[in-house]
Structure 1
Amino acid sequence: MSGTRTVLYDPQGLIEAELPLDRAPHEALVTAALAWTDPQLQPRDYEQIALQLTGYARAVAADVQRHALTLPKNNGRRALAEVVLREAEGRLSVPLEGTARCVQNRAQLVRALYARLDRLTAADPTAP
């Protein structure tokens, strides 16, 4: 077996835009985390779940941004998307903690980003 690799250079994120996110498992994680009342996990387990949700929130935010940028600057849906993206940026800048509260905050963020993405794509006939 050869040790060759191919380096991918995609500064505009076009390949990522073509790949749909597998939404179902992450929505299941969001639903489970938001249903917690007292899960009593170890801090490192909370951190791992929060990391997963953080990565997913960033990916969904990128989708929201891509769809919002296709709209005219004076479009209300674009303005609302920009508000949601600014809030997401602020919430994602908060350091992770090994707590259920941190996980639930990230889960709520993923849910809010999906709600905005759904509103943007529902009005876009070219969206998948």
Structure 2
Amino acid sequence: MLTLDDAKRIIAAAEKTATDDVGQPMNIAVVDAGGHLLAFVRQPNAWLGSIDIAINKAFTARAFDIPTKKLAELSQPEEQFFGIHASNHSRVVIFAGGIPLERDGAIVGAIGVSGGFSKQDQAVAEAGAAAL
């Protein structure tokens, strides 16, 4: 199970990386094992349009138990998940920044980050995931 304290620790680590290393304000979402929003932070001046993207990256990573960066590769034309972005009422995000969260070999939730370039989002998400 992912607790609220876990989510706060994950977000704090992600925020630190966004501020100290990436230098880009981010929207950071953590969902529980059911894909439901557990915690969310919008850093000052983070893009408003990235709020839903961060939440949906977390949902996608949990819904399919795969990093969204990897799903991006698998959803290209002639790949097995081509067109997946149109599923789930178009909530599926197929670019970097969403990572499933594991504890003792079980997926307990996911983090989603949006607000910068894909590499920046991914770096911030990785920092958050590592805090679990």
TM over 0.5: no
Higher strand share: 2
How does the TM-score come out when normalised to structure 1?
0.26
Larger Rg: 1
